[in-house]
Amino acid sequence: MPHSNALKEFQSSLEMVEALLELERKYKNPPRKEEQKAVQALRGSAIVLMVASFEYFLRQVMEERLTELATPHSKVQFNKLPDKMQVCSIFNTLERAMKGEPFKEPTQKINRLTDIELACKIVLLKNVHPPAFNDSGSNPSPDTIGHLD
């Protein structure tokens, strides 16, 4: 993978996971009764951090790669992309502009006009809009991850 900030951040997060697991390894297995909560906390924290880091990595790496398609010098033309990507880019770009960013407090319509004009330009110029692909609002399922290749 070419230079990737997403990968660097993911590797950094995995180092934090490893630090948690290093602390957990200092306890006996199985832990003594009075140490069980500490061991469970370390193991649970490591798992949560691992999963959250992986989800964030998937979103960030996807946006990095899609940003490469959004440059004027991209070797891939918009109309050569799979239909599903074209539909996702166009519809989600327009929907984000019309409704506002997902998971944020909606703004008044008058305050969205600039975003709508920009979205229309993106669509008319047949550009990929990377944020349009990150609006799932849920954790990536195994099927989603399988289709990233």
pLDDT tier at 149, thresholds 50, 70, 90: very low
Q: Which residues contact 125 (CB under 8 A, 6 or more apart)?
A: none
Rounded CA separation 25/33 (Å): 16
Q: What is the mean pLDDT of residues 75-100?
A: 91
- Among candidate residues 134, 144, 138, 141, the one with its CA nearest the CA of residue 65: 134
pLDDT at 81 over 60: yes
Residue 132 has, within 13 A of its CA and on its CB side, a CA count of 25
Instruction: Kindly give the interhelix angle for 113-124 and 83-99, rounded to the nearest 10 degrees.
Output: 160
pLDDT tier at 139, thresholds 50, 70, 90: low
- Among candidate residues 149, 93, 141, the one with its CA nearest the CA of residue 120: 93
Q: What is the pLDDT of residues 93-132, one digit of tens each?
A: 999 999 988 778 888 999 999 999 999 999 999 989 898 8
**pLDDT for the residue numbered 141:** 61
pLDDT at 147 over 70: no
What is the phi/psi pair of residue 95, to 5°? Answer: -65, -40
Q: Give, as one character, the DSSP assignment of residue 128.
A: -
**pLDDT for the residue numbered 106:** 82
